[in-house]
Amino acid sequence: ALRKIQFAQQRGFRAVIFEINSPGGAVVASKEIADAIKESGLRTVAWIRDIGASGAYWVASVCDRIVADPCSGVGSIGVIGQHIEVSELMKKYGVRYEGFKSGEFKDMGVPFRKTTAKEKKVIQDHIDELHRFFVSQVAANRGIEPRTLGKYADGRVFMGEEAKRIGLVDFLGGRAEAIRQAEIAGNFRHAFVYDIEDLREEFMFAVQALFSQAPGGIGRGVARELLERAQRNPGSWLPGNLF
């Protein structure tokens, strides 16, 4: 995702639509993508398809406009931490856990013993702090009071229409609406839409075709090498006439 943002910047795109279909992911990865979008200076539209939840909604919230289908799942503003604890299973088979550590909490969360009350408090405090940060970021991105957003930041997933009513989504619709909003955000009409994934595939096929007469599959090897270079340095290896 970060390379695609850089690619769009280098190619001078007027607006970018982020097609989102994800239940979320890791905290830091979500923050990195959201920060990159915010710092890119691009006009942006988030298009939520089946689901844009948790970290994926964090990313969507930083965009200028959010479009979702009335049946999309939106929100799930919350943080979860979990692990499997197998001490009873180990006991059944006569397996014991012995840990050697330099601090009281160094082996906190290992699956081989029960979590103590003090450890549970440390973990819960950490999750609560992440949740407060998550809410503050989304509230700032969406222009919603944190206290107001807090009413809905309990992990629930809202359908698109309800999400629009409470301010998590701006417009209802699909691809066509997302393109229309990108045109408005970028202040232009009749957009020519690129798909960055498709562009890279077209480039691969174009280079393979160029070397199709070469023996022993050399075309595929050259194509992959050029594509890898393009991914390392977006924009510099992608000829404009391919697009």
Active site residues: 54, 106
State how far the Cα of 169 lies from the Cα of 126, in Å rounded to an integer: 29
Question: What secondary structure letter does DSSP report for 240?
Answer: G
Phi, psi values for residue 239, rounded to 5°: -60, 135
Phi, psi values for residue 171, rounded to 5°: -140, 150
State how far the Cα of 114 lies from the Cα of 181, in Å rounded to an integer: 52
The CB-based long-range contact list for 197-200 (8 Å cut-off, 24+ gap) reads: 199/238, 199/242, 199/243, 200/227, 200/230, 200/231
